[in-house]
Amino acid sequence: MSLQPVRGTHDVLPEDGRRFRTVTEAGRATAERYGYHEIATPILEFAEVFKRTLGDTSDIVTKEMYTFTDKGGEEVTLRPEGTAGVARALISGGLSQHLPLKFFYQGPMFRYERPQKGRLRQFHQIGVELLGVAEALGDIEVIALGAAILSELGIAAKTRLELNTLGNSRSRAVYREVLVEYLSRHRNALSQDSLIRLERNPLRILDSKDPGDRAVIADAPGFGESLDAESTEFFAAVCAGLDALGIAYGLNSRLVRGLDYYCHTAFEFTTDALGAQGAVIAGGRYDGLISTMGGPETAGVGWAAGIERLALLLDGEANPARPIAVIPLGAAAETAALPLAERLRRGGFSVDLGYRGNLKRRMNRANKINARAAVIIGDDELAQNSATLRDLDSGEQTLVPLDALDGRLASIV
């Protein structure tokens, strides 16, 4: 049996790693400009963290979570998403006294899904959470932050923002009754999973991918008919804020979040460039989440974005900085090259120091790694306290004193 990665996982090789880094660094830097600070929660959490927050009837909990009993007898889960861990950190860390809090996170998540383009069993996300802000300004800010990251990555034109309102708890209760009444009339057409949800969490049916369910949902009443004045005004304020910022959006009445702690704004940035996996950023307001977990009543709004999906949208290659190849020829030059290479690295240059081989072999390596220049040191150069500097683009070659080498390299790289 040949060793292979577990199905649905993959090695992030250097080229992919550079694209990943492009996404995470753009996300981190943009989030910092909005006042968000990075947080890292454990990859392992007690299973209850996600069962409470995602709901016992959700596909993630019932079908997709990697949950197991550890050697100490504790039931633990590889995190399937980031928000629950951040909420748990607020509670267990006693952070509510510091509200409002603005967090950015990045890292791997795990779900047992059928692998396909843009969907893996180990995948990676960036995300933001704004805690302690109940006003519509919070929704506007996190959406604007998502839009700013897409612009920073140069992929905003490939996406569109879809927006909906779930209303406040009163509006949701009214809508739930209307939805149950409608779905109950179509019980015979619903899947077995949706029949279970009809009793426990009917809004979850709106997320169903079953073809029969989708046909029923197509004619289901929308949230808009059940909104009270407060809900209508809140959503109007969000839309007005996005209009003021020049952020275009479309309304999607089928965009929902099934759990009861979600409220008001739900949104997604979607794309047509990735086939079926259209959502690249998904988020919304979750004012009831932290109290559901046993913490204090705390407003919250945020989003998560798939790094793999964002990376697939990037244009061109994520090329690394072109290195300088330091090529020593002979034992004395080998000894001198080591501190020279270290000096250049400390000066900010990317340096590749060849380990073995004659001049031809080392030059072949320099070309293979796309080096910008070669610094060649042999006995003749050492005698003159100099190095031969070869511009690998133009082919020009000059003898440069070692103490002037940094300046000459800076002029060509």
CATH class of 324-410: alpha beta
41 has pLDDT over 90: yes
| Mean pLDDT of the residues in the chain | 91
Reported confidence tier of residue 283, pLDDT bands at 50, 70, 90: very high
Q: Residue 113 has what pLDDT? A: 74
Tens of pLDDT, residues 64-122: 888 999 999 999 999 999 999 999 999 999 999 999 999 999 999 999 877 666 578 89
For residue 83, the SS3 value is helix
- Position 58 scores a pLDDT of 59
> What residue spans define the domains of the chain?
14-168+228-313, 324-410
Structure token pair of residue 144 = 């604007």
So what's the pLDDT on residue 325? 95
Mark out the alpha helices in 34-82 (DSSP H runs): 47-54, 59
- What is the reported pLDDT for 59? 61
For the stretch 138-158, pLDDT in tens is 999 999 999 999 999 999 999
Interval 355-388: pLDDT, tens:
888 889 999 999 999 999 999 999 999 999 999 9
Tell me whether domains 14-168+228-313 and 324-410 share a fold: no
Cβ proximity of 124 and 108 under 8 Å: yes
Q: At what angle do helices 169-184 and 192-200 cross, to 10 degrees?
A: 140
Contact criterion met (CB below 8 Å) for 275 and 107 = no
Question: Quick one: fold of 14-168+228-313?
Answer: BirA Bifunctional Protein; domain 2 (3.30.930)
- Among all chains, which residue has been given the structure tokens 């988020």? 283
How do residues 288-305 score in pLDDT, each as one tens digit? 899 999 999 999 999 999
- pTM score, two decimals? 0.86
